């Protein structure tokens, strides 16, 4: 019995000691919770002068206050020296990759490029921050960093958006997919390409002319897939739009209550650059005017085809125009048939810039050389090319054929009508030969 009492007494003393030790052990502090040492920022960089800078840029900045590191992760790295760059670009298979860089280097680069940089600190739980850090570190590894770039659906902004959404458990996507905007991929392209980012009177006209030319080429090459209304989720392919949208997002906090996603916003690199307008400028009238001017020049020269020099000048102008647009039409067809550029599929501009125009160029030369076949060939081919352009204009009234290509129709159709008119009406012919 005495031994039993000793055992119970010893057990009671052990339990008391354990309870005392537990009472003296402090609860984990916030700093000890995994991920609580991290701060996460969404970086947004504004527009620059170069064409690949016109859409802005995004990155994710993670500050580790325990390790005293500041790392910016971005998905916008590419190189003109990558193998088969031109081939990949033309096929729509261009490689971009994710890079991690010190934050102070990122700031220096954008200061040097004179591009505004904003930082939005995000309200995320420690677990979400840790999940994001683990993902971007994995993504930055050589085996995982490369991806096939898509201008609208898979770029530096959508990759940053998707990484944040992954860490937030889909809360970002659920919010942004519910809201539809008035924007389309085409309207956003026009808005950003035509924005004069410099204060009035200080911009370089060279960049304005280059951007107008590039925008015209893009409008010509891209089909109806970029004309549907976008949700906020889709519209966040533009970095500045993602910056705008996250300001309105609420997420579930650690206490289970809804909280704003953005805790704080600051300008990291201030500049004098102007923000893009909310809507693109109206350009249809300018393109119609340009088309009328081109057609007017052809008509004026065509009025002198009774003279030798007039015939030569008309064929040079009309033939050169046919050659240019025939080549562009061939490129449009090749983009549609043989590449992964899905935004070029179903392009109605093929009715305005058509490969048949290459045959018209040959026929005009035969017409100048007073060949009988040239007369017949030019007459028929010019009517076909002009007829296709008119059909491209007329089908705009049909449901489902609503590509926003009024600028291209206004620019090109008038010239085809004038060329057909000159060839079929103004050129006197006697016994199959020019007079």
Per residue, the 3-state secondary structure of 145-175, as one string, reads CEEECECCCECHHHHHHHHHHHHCCCHHHHH
> Which residues does residue 57 pair with via DSSP β-bridges, in sequence order?
45
Answer yes or no: do 163 and 303 share one domain.
Answer: no
Q: Which residues of 7-16 are buried (b: 16+ CB within 10 A; e: fewer)?
A: eeeeeeeeee
Chain Cα centroid distance, residue 30: 42
Answer yes or no: do 156 and 188 share one domain.
Answer: yes
Answer yes or no: do 289 and 262 share one domain.
Answer: no
Crossing angle for the helix pair 239-246 and 156-167, nearest 10 degrees?
30
Distance CA(32)–CA(34), nearest Å, equals: 6
Answer yes or no: do 364 and 250 share one domain.
Answer: no
* Range(s) of the domain holding residue 169: 36-269
pLDDT value at position 80? 80
Question: What does the angle CA 41 – CA 74 – CA 196 come to, to the nearest 5 degrees?
Answer: 90
Answer yes or no: do 116 and 255 share one domain.
Answer: yes
**15 occurs within a structural domain:** no
Any idea what DSSP says for residue 73? E
Tokens 């000793």, residue?
Answer: 6
Any idea what DSSP says for residue 371? -
**55 occurs within a structural domain:** yes
**28 occurs within a structural domain:** no
Q: What is the pLDDT along the chain (435 residues), one digit of tens a residue?
A: 444 334 343 444 434 443 444 444 444 555 578 999 999 999 999 999 888 899 999 999 999 999 999 999 999 998 888 788 888 887 888 899 999 999 999 999 999 999 999 999 999 999 999 999 999 999 999 999 999 999 999 999 999 999 999 999 999 999 999 889 999 999 999 999 988 877 755 566 777 788 899 999 999 999 999 999 999 999 999 999 999 999 999 998 878 889 999 999 999 999 998 889 999 999 999 999 999 999 999 999 999 988 889 889 999 999 999 999 999 999 999 999 999 999 999 999 999 999 999 999 999 998 888 766 778 889 999 999 999 999 999 998 888 888 999 999 999 999 999 999 999 886 654 344 444
Distance CA(407)–CA(353), nearest Å, equals: 13
**17 occurs within a structural domain:** no
Answer yes or no: do 262 and 296 share one domain.
Answer: no
Tokens 């009517």, residue?
Answer: 383
Token digits of residue 177: 């997919």
Answer yes or no: do 175 and 296 share one domain.
Answer: no
Find out whether 31 and 235 touch, Cβ atoms under 8 Å: no
**13 occurs within a structural domain:** no
How many domains does one find in the chain?
2
Distance CA(122)–CA(238), nearest Å, equals: 19
Answer yes or no: do 231 and 308 share one domain.
Answer: no
Distance CA(284)–CA(25), nearest Å, equals: 74
Distance CA(242)–CA(237), nearest Å, equals: 7
Q: Of the candidates 269, 299, 325, which is a domain's last residue? A: 269
> Which residues does residue 230 pair with via DSSP β-bridges, in sequence order?
none
Answer yes or no: do 41 and 188 share one domain.
Answer: yes
**279 occurs within a structural domain:** no
- Give start and end residues of each alpha helix (H) in 263-404: 284-302, 308-338, 356-368, 372-394
Answer yes or no: do 288 and 262 share one domain.
Answer: no
pLDDT value at position 37? 95
Answer yes or no: do 370 and 255 share one domain.
Answer: no
CB atoms within 10 A of CB 373: 12
Distance CA(297)–CA(226), nearest Å, equals: 33
**257 occurs within a structural domain:** yes
Q: Of the candidates 269, 292, 313, which is a domain's last residue? A: 269
Answer yes or no: do 263 and 288 share one domain.
Answer: no
Q: Of the candidates 269, 299, 317, which is a domain's last residue? A: 269
**64 occurs within a structural domain:** yes
């Amino acid at each position: 019995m005495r031994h039993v009492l000793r055992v119970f007494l010893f057990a009671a003393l052990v339990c008391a000691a354990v309870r005392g030790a537990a009472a003296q052990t402090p609860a984990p502090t916030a700093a000890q919770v995994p991920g609580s040492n991290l701060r996460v920022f969404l970086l947004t960089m504004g527009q620059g002068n170069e064409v690949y800078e016109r859409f802005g840029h995004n990155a994710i900045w993670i500050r580790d206050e325990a390790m005293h590191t500041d790392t910016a992760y971005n998905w916008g790295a590419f190189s003109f020296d990558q193998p088969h760059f031109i081939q990949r670009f033309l096929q729509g298979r261009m490689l971009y990759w994710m890079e991690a860089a010190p934050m102070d280097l990122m700031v220096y680069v954008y200061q040097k490029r004179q591009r505004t940089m904003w930082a939005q600190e995000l309200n995320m739980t420690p677990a979400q921050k840790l999940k994001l850090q683990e993902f971007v570190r994995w993504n930055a590894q050589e085996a995982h960093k490369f991806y096939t770039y898509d201008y609208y659906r898979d770029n530096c902004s959508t990759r940053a958006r998707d990484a944040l959404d992954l860490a937030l458990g889909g809360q970002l996507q659920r919010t942004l997919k519910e809201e539809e905007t008035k924007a389309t991929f085409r309207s956003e392209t026009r808005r950003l390409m035509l924005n004069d980012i410099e204060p009035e009177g200080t911009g370089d006209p060279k960049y304005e002319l280059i951007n107008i030319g590039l925008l015209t080429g893009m409008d010509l090459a891209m089909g109806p897939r970029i004309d549907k209304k976008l949700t906020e989720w889709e519209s966040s392919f533009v970095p500045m739009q993602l910056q705008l949208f996250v300001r309105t997002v609420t997420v579930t906090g650690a206490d289970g209550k809804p909280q704003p996603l953005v805790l704080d916003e600051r300008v990291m690199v201030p500049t004098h650059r102007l923000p893009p307008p909310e809507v693109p400028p109206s350009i249809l009238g300018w393109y119609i005017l340009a088309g009328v001017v081109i057609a007017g020049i052809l008509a004026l020269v065509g009025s002198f085809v009774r003279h030798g020099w007039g015939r030569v000048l008309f064929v040079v102008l009309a033939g050169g125009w046919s050659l240019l647009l025939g080549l562009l039409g061939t490129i449009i067809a090749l983009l549609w048939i043989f590449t992964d550029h899905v935004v070029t599929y179903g392009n109605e501009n093929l009715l305005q810039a058509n490969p048949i125009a290459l045959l018209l160029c040959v026929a005009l030369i035969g017409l100048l050389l007073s060949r009988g076949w040239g007369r017949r060939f030019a007459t028929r081919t010019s009517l076909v090319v002009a007829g296709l352009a008119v059909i491209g204009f007329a089908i705009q009234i049909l449901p489902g054929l609503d590509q926003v290509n009024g600028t291209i129709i206004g620019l090109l159709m008038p010239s085809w009508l004038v060329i057909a008119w000159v060839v079929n009406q103004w050129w006197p012919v006697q016994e199959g030969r020019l007079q």
